[in-house]
A and B are shown apart, each in its own frame.
Chain A
Amino acid sequence: DAGVIQSPRHEVTEMGQEVTLRCKPISGHNSLFWYRQTMMRGLELLIYFNNNVPIDDSGMPEDRFSAKMPNASFSTLKIQPSEPRDSAVYFCASSLTGQFTEAFFGQGTRLTVV
């Protein structure tokens, strides 16, 4: 398996624009997590899904952020409208619930909002 795949690796956008980050989890994994990493706040859990259903979105900063998981092999994190303070590295991770081992992380998407 190729691991967790995120796209794009880098995104530069202007304030006010919509940004969509994409994630393909490891095949067979049934939990998916979105994290945000910044110098100030470290790694923060934004939302996680189990069997494509959002379980906890309490980490989503505000209504400008939304996440979907339409099927077991794809998830998106959308920011609309984007703001400079959204600049960060966004990580997607997946794991196999019920036989808990660990979460496997993608390479991340570095988002810069100017």
Chain B
Amino acid sequence: AQSVTQLDSQVPVFEEAPVELRCNYSSSVSVYLFWYVQYPNQGLQLLLKYLSGSTLVKGINGFEAEFNKSQTSFHLRKPSVHISDTAEYFCAVSDYGSQGNLIFGKGTKLSVKP
């Protein structure tokens, strides 16, 4: 069965500092990988996705993630964060045959301080 582990439940960081949110997945088959962001009292919005091809994926708001098959990881990075990046971030996995069924991690709350 697939599972997603987000190693940090909370990440505090100062504005303009770099950040990395970690995600590891467990799957015996080829997968699609996603990062979603949830702002307070809102639904989830896609940040970026890996389907195939280049392992470095760029998304919205300056975020990027790197797929590492050998380490089964898909860590999210941003070189310089803003106050507006304060939100909860979810990593998700879906296998090729699942018809879009996403399995989510527990989420990481990113708090950007001035």
Contacts and interface: CB of A to CB of B under 8 A. Distances in A.
**A and B together in one complex:** yes
Contact of B99 (A45, A93, A97): A97
B49 A43 contact: no
B46 interface: yes
B105 A105 contact: no
A71 B65 CA distance: 37
Given A101-B49, A102-B34, A102-B49, A45 B43 contact: no
B104 interface: yes
Interface residues on B, range: 20 to 34
Interface residues of A, number: 24
Contacts of B43: 4, 91, 105-108
Given A93-B44, A100-B100, 17 more contacts: A31-B100, A33-B100, A33-B101, A33-B102, A35-B104, A43-B107, A50-B99, A55-B101, A91-B44, A95-B100, A97-B99, A100-B32, A100-B94, A102-B34, A103-B102, A104-B46, A105-B36
Interface of B: 32, 34, 36, 42-46, 49, 51, 90, 94, 99-107
Interface of A: 4, 31, 33, 35, 42-43, 45, 48, 50, 55-56, 91, 93, 95, 97, 100-108
